[in-house]
Amino acid sequence: MKTFQDYLDTINQAIAAIPYPDAPRQLYAPIEYHMALGGKRVRPVLTLMACDAFGGDSSLALNAALGIEMFHNFTLLHDDVMDNADVRRGKTTVHRRWNDNTAILSGDTMLTIATQYIVRCANWPVMDLFNKTAIEIYEGQQWDMDYENRSDVTVDEYVNMIRLKTSVLLGCALKTGALIAGADDQQADLLYQAGVNMGLAFQLRDDVLDVWGDPVTFGKEIGGDIMNNKKTFLLINAMQLAQGDDADELRHWLNDPYATRDNKVAGVTALYERLGVRQLAEDAIAHYNDLAIAAFNQANIPDEAKNAFIGLANRLSGRTF
């Protein structure tokens, strides 16, 4: 049976072999640059795994896997413009290395290239799922931006936002592989549900790692969300739970423009621990991971495929990277 690394090698080789036109160079060079930055490649691997799990020929799912990974990278190019981000995967972002216009236009091009890969599967339900998922991801990004200007975001709203912005693409990746293998709708939907719950656990782990992660393995500076007052699962829960002095202290950290990074990150982290929101996040991660595992277990796929999916879900939800 193929390992995660086998699938990853297949994906990375296929990405390296994408034949970009020679010109206009300013349009295609940023796409090649960004696709070569790497990343976990979780989504395309899930597509190949799901296709194999239902007895399909995963080489047929390779176009869909590439389309989904290209789509994901398109969203990163545009998100980095919208967030004015300098660094992605330890390298300079496209809009910073070139400029905003390049990131916009090369991103548009990636979206259409992604669609072309999906078209090659010649499967209308896969095409419909891809477009529906894309719309949900834009909606998630819009909610994320809307929430920056609101102080009353609820946990349910936040979870729905990360479901749209992050999780549905994992569901889409799994369901796409299942559909290409010829799985029926009910079976494909089980994998979709598994993917969405995996995605929720994955994103909540991201929130936790931003506070308690090891910068070496996580690959990012710790405390970025805290410094940006980003309304994560942790901050939203903390804002609801903090009373009296704790509430005053939290308000102070959120509003003091002169707080040093070290002081603010240490202060908010201590508050999070005192208020128990770290444990709330761990409980939520375990909850969504359990739902993902239950869905994989219900699917009509061989035990070794179930075990591979469950191993991956456990690894991603408990990850330190």
Kindly state the smallest distance separating residue 150's Cβ from a second copy, in Å. Answer: 12
Report the distance separating Cα 94 and Cα 87, nearest Å: 9
Half-sphere exposure of 90 (CA within 13 A, CB side): 9
**Cα angle 100-103-223, degrees, rounded to a multiple of 5:** 80
CA distance 214 to 209: 8
Residue 154 engages a second copy in binding (rule: CB under 8 A) = no
Q: How far is CA 7 from CA 1, 49, 60, 198, 292, in A?
A: 11, 8, 13, 19, 21
Q: Which residues have CB under 8 Å from 315's CB, separation 6+?
A: none
146 touching a second copy, by CB under 8 A = yes
Q: Which is nearer to a second copy, 45 or 81 (CB)?
A: 81
3-state helix, strand, coil in the chain (%, to 5): 75, 0, 25
Kindly give, in sequence order, each residue whose CB lies less than 8 Å from that of residue 257, ignoring residues fewer than 6 positions away: none
Q: What Å distances lie between residue 28 and 35, 289, 317, CA to CA? A: 11, 38, 35
**Binding a second copy by CB under 8 A: which of 143, 202, 233, 272?**
143
Binding mask 80-99 for a second copy (x = CB under 8 A): -xx-----------------
Minimum CB distance to a second copy smaller for 26 or for 151: 26
Q: Is 111 in the site for a second copy (CB under 8 A)?
A: yes
Which one among 13, 38, 57, 112 touches a second copy, defined by CB under 8 A?
Answer: 112
Q: Is 60 in the site for a second copy (CB under 8 A)?
A: no
Least distance to a second copy, CB of residue 190, Å = 25
The verdict on 135 binding a second copy (CB under 8 A) reads: yes
* Region from 21-29, 48-56, 169-177, 281-289 binding a second copy, contact rule CB under 8 A: 21-29
Residues of the shown chain interacting with a second copy in the complex, contacts defined by CB under 8 A: 21, 23-24, 26-27, 78, 81-82, 100-101, 104-105, 107-109, 111-113, 115-116, 119, 122, 124, 127-128, 131, 134-135, 138-139, 141-143, 145-146
